[in-house]
Amino acid sequence: ALLGTGLCHVGAQAECFGQDARTSPPVAVFNWSAQLVEETYTNITQKCWEYFVDLMRNVTTSELCEWKVISRPYSLLQACLEDWADQLCYGYPNALAEQYIFQSHHRYFHNCTLEHRVYFDPPEDVLLAMIIAPICLIPFLVTLVIWRSKDGKAQP
C-alpha cells in the first residue's frame, strides 16, 4: 500500500517521482519535513527488518552460510532498505540501512568463514625484492651478452 508514494523532504533540489514512472508520466509528489521523512523511513525499515527476520526463520543453522539459501532474504532486505530510501529521497546508503545490514551479519552470518583460501599481497619488503631483482638482473645479462659477443669467436 505504501509503494509508489514517492515522498520528498522539504528543501530537496530534485523532485521525486512515483515508483511507476516507467509506465506513466512522472508526477511531482508532496514535500514533507526532513523529520517526518526520517521518522517514516525509520518505521518502514523496521518493517523491512521484521520481514527479513521472518524469512530467516525458515533457514536452518547449517544453511546460514550457503549463499543459494540466504541470497533471497538478504537481497530483499537490501532492496527494501534501498528502495524506500529512494522513494523518500532519504539518500542511500545511510546510517540506518547500514545498521540493519551490520545487524544481519552479526546475528546470522558471524560464524561463516570462506571455504576457499584467500590470497593476500606479500609484505612490502618481499614485493619490492620481487620487483627489483629482475630489473637489476637485466643490465647484468646485457653486459654479459655484450662481453661474450666481443670475443669474435663462434661458440659451438
Summarised one tens digit per residue, pLDDT across range 13-58 is: 334 544 444 444 444 455 678 889 999 999 999 999 999 999 999 9
Domain span including residue 46: 34-110
Residue 24 CB partners (closer than 8 Å, separation 6+)? 18
Cell output for 73: 532474504
67 in a structural domain:
yes
- Cβ–Cβ under 8 Å, residues 101 and 73: no
Question: Cβ of 36: how many Cβ atoms within 10 Å?
Answer: 14
55 in a structural domain:
yes
CA dist list (Å): 124 to 13, 121, 134, 135: 47, 8, 16, 17
pTM of the model: 0.56
- Cβ–Cβ under 8 Å, residues 24 and 37: no
28 in a structural domain:
no
DSSP code, position 131:
H
| Number of domains within the chain | 1
Q: What is the pLDDT of residues 95-151, one digit of tens each?
A: 999 999 999 999 998 888 766 556 678 889 998 999 999 999 999 999 999 988 886
Q: Which CATH number fits the domain that encloses residue 96?
A: 1.10.150.510
Which residues on neighbouring strands pair with residue 17, listed in sequence order?
28
66 in a structural domain:
yes
